[in-house]
Structure 1
């Protein structure tokens, strides 16, 4: 019997499965689709996700396959309103890695395959019921044959129309915006074509147009078109439609060619009221869907996976109390809410329609993007390096819940290896070693030196500070660890 059944083999489900297997758990991962996605869909992997992929031993393949964007430019007409540079992101990965979702899924599938796991496709979750110590799941194969599976844990990574979320009857609050958007994966050339190492945004009186670079000399164009009668859906755009939009909003000198994907879409913004219920969990689009502004939807979902994996692994291995799992939903729900709010604000700002409001917006952007502090804040928000869990039940003390800066690891990243353990950081290595001996299942055996010798820190396997205390407050360290057990 598998320790965990994962429904959905997109980037989030694949990440989840790989992390569980790395931590020594048996998984089944199923997907009703015959094939992985064939289109580019989510295009960017941000710094924080790359840091976590590095812990998992999977980042190098992505770096080799992706294109590094070092910033973004915002223009209105022929005027440059400002730039956001990613070079100062406080991470070894101080860039946006542009890579099509089809490639992300290919690389994650290969990584999972190297761990001995095969995706079971054309296999659908029909229904499930929770018992005291397991979940009974009914699966349907492509030939109509049904299978009843008993699994200790069920995780829904099955997208916006999640069968797992529907089975839990969890509310999915939010709404769809009224505008239609154009999406075009094409090639750009000409003297006016944007730089291939940055994201280019063009603000226009009729709405924004954004150009994202893609590996292989390609680019994606996303532009708002306007409202359409829901009873008469807008047809997919033609290449001539895309060229007309580029001429109108980017100016002369840019030519679009070689289309591989032309479509329209609407923005939905929704979030589940709860990410977990008993032995069942939600992650990724099953729990939250966002505006594509900022490119954070897939990243947020993959980070859901990293957050849940170490917690569930510690519980299954008997290292920690099942109460540890109670932190997953509040932590990730708060992040999902913040990401949704930020993406919504960015979309609302870009799609302002009153001319006076557009003029004020452009003046404000030109001023604010000239300030280094604003540029740094924008970059840290988009890269998700500023995500923190200050209000988590796992955070105790000043600065707890913040991400530990990579330069402060004093060794390999926390959470590396095949068993999740907390990391104790103390200048008193003798007392630290004695504490680790009393909690061998929870702590790495050897304490590490903290970035500040006056602090006693306990670091979670995902690299966030759990406990922050004064260097001699060993009673707080012991109490923190006892709460895990």
Structure 2
């Protein structure tokens, strides 16, 4: 079962692992994806929507359009009287796309398979041992057959109970915030409205989100019904909870999924231990409030994949991987805080706490800049990464999907997993629009010009963040930036 050593082993075939493995394989790297489930078992998780930044990352891989075609776009969110308008986001995806996680996994799995990822299903990680040259992963394959796999790096994207995290001895500090949350995908006989809606009464809340396929996702909780996750959920319980909070059950019927879970807030102190890295729920887990879990994991993968590819192709030092921790750990911490604040708003039951919630919501509702900032953080477009002192103000910021000369746009240019250099005029790097230079950068650099009259030169990383920028940059400055970032 040892097989040929792989460059990277990704553990976990959820959205995070699939995006990461697909990126690495598309970059020409041998990748094995290890999953303890069988391929027939759908990952029916509580994730139910894609935010703007995740859609941008999928767009950079040519995957946003198929999901947009089957999902339902919501440009507003009402969460316990707090109204957020995503229609004002500075993104072509100025909405939340309601689409089940298994649909996201489907398009990511198909892409990974086309790129050449080796899938090993029904294979469970039982140990991880790393040395100076690589990592040995002990596994138990189909039928319980033991074996070992070898790679230069291993990424654990295997969820909240991560075997990889446990094997490298990383703590997962935090606590359970709320228990016995019910979750259901059901049809409604009555229309619930076009918004994602959260409502509450003392001691109970529900969140209702419409999918684009006739089903609605219902998430609910009531304080006095605190039972183990293993306790079965039936449609009658969900109906009673929704009636208690909203006054009606919308003619709920035809459940395709009923489950119960508890919500935790946890984050590992380090996303990297030598040659082992963690991403998604293996690194951070939080309440489903705001629908940020799957989205944060996808953005972890987008940040890590191009860095691993650069290191493994010999274009960057191993220390580049340290920036994955410095960039993504603060984002994970911020998501814990924002989702935790939202779930605590939902759980407010005492008169003083509900009055405090009402006052906070009223303040936010009348503070446009604050409300826009909250929408930016929940959607992911509001995050930026730290930049070196003295760097251009654009450095570290998310690059919007700007128009390029010739009719293209930035996120189309990013689809090859390459850097994109945008300049006012073609710099002396050879090839002009859409080409790299004569020193072998064509496979990792696209050169383009602004469609507008902008005079700033901008180098955009493969994950859509600005690596370098300068106004009126000369050829020497551009060449230095390319050498430092592209290799």
Q: TM-score normalized by structure 2?
A: 0.88
> CA separation in 2, counterparts of 1:470 and 1:247?
59
1:194 aligned to 192, 195, 202, which one?
A: 192
Q: Is the deviation greater in 463-472 or in 50-59?
A: 463-472
Q: Is the deviation greater in 235-244 or in 46-55?
A: 235-244
Name the structure 1 match of 2:25: 21
What is the total number of aligned residue pairs between the two structures? 475
2:219 aligned to 191, 207, 222, which one?
A: 222
> CA separation in 1, counterparts of 2:365 and 2:221?
23
The answer to whether the 8 Å contact 1:178/1:227 transfers is: no
- Deviations for 1:70-99, whole angstroms, at most 9, x for unmatched residues? 212346xxxxx4532222221111111111
The answer to whether the 8 Å contact 1:450/1:456 transfers is: no
Give the direction of change, closer, same or farther, for the CA distance of 1:98–1:67 in structure 2 (3 Å limit): same
- Deviations for 1:239-290, whole angstroms, at most 9, x for unmatched residues? 2222222222112473322223223221111111111122211111111111
Cα shift at 1:404: 1.1
The answer to whether the 8 Å contact 2:180/2:226 transfers is: no
Q: TM-score normalized by structure 1?
A: 0.89
> CA separation in 2, counterparts of 1:233 and 1:130?
36
The 5-angstrom pairing of residues 344-359 of structure 1 reads 344-359=340-355
Give the direction of change, closer, same or farther, for the CA distance of 1:434–1:60 in structure 2 (3 Å limit): closer
Cα shift at 1:313: 1.1
Name the structure 2 match of 1:423: 420
> CA separation in 1, counterparts of 2:198 and 2:447?
49
Cα shift at 1:481: 4.2
Name the structure 2 match of 1:276: 272
The 5-angstrom pairing of residues 18-417 of structure 1 reads 18-34=22-38, 35-74=40-79, 81=81, 83-190=83-190, 193-195=191-193, 197-226=194-223, 235-252=231-248, 254-366=250-362, 368-389=364-385, 391=386, 396-407=391-402, 411-413=408-410, 416=413
Name the structure 2 match of 1:78: none
The answer to whether the 8 Å contact 1:457/1:467 transfers is: yes
- Deviations for 1:221-252, whole angstroms, at most 9, x for unmatched residues? 1122116677x778333322222222221124
The 5-angstrom pairing of residues 429-468 of structure 1 reads 429-431=426-428, 437=437, 440-441=440-441, 444=445, 446-449=447-450, 453-468=454-469
Name the structure 2 match of 1:10: 14
Cα shift at 1:322: 2.4
Give unmatched runs, 5+ long, in structure 1.
76-80
Give the direction of change, closer, same or farther, for the CA distance of 1:164–1:416 in structure 2 (3 Å limit): farther
Give the direction of change, closer, same or farther, for the CA distance of 1:150–1:318 in structure 2 (3 Å limit): same
Give the direction of change, closer, same or farther, for the CA distance of 1:124–1:86 in structure 2 (3 Å limit): same
- The RMSD of aligned alpha carbons is 2.9
> CA separation in 2, counterparts of 1:36 and 1:400?
43
SS at match of 2:185: strand
> CA separation in 2, counterparts of 1:133 and 1:451?
48
- Deviations for 1:99-130, whole angstroms, at most 9, x for unmatched residues? 11222222222222333435221012221211
The answer to whether the 8 Å contact 1:453/1:471 transfers is: no
Give unmatched runs, 5+ long, in structure 2.
none
Q: Is the deviation greater in 120-129 or in 434-443?
A: 434-443
SS at match of 2:325: helix
Give the direction of change, closer, same or farther, for the CA distance of 1:426–1:109 in structure 2 (3 Å limit): closer
The answer to whether the 8 Å contact 1:275/1:282 transfers is: yes
SS at match of 1:107: helix
Cα shift at 1:359: 2.6
The answer to whether the 8 Å contact 2:413/2:446 transfers is: no
Cα shift at 1:409: 5.3
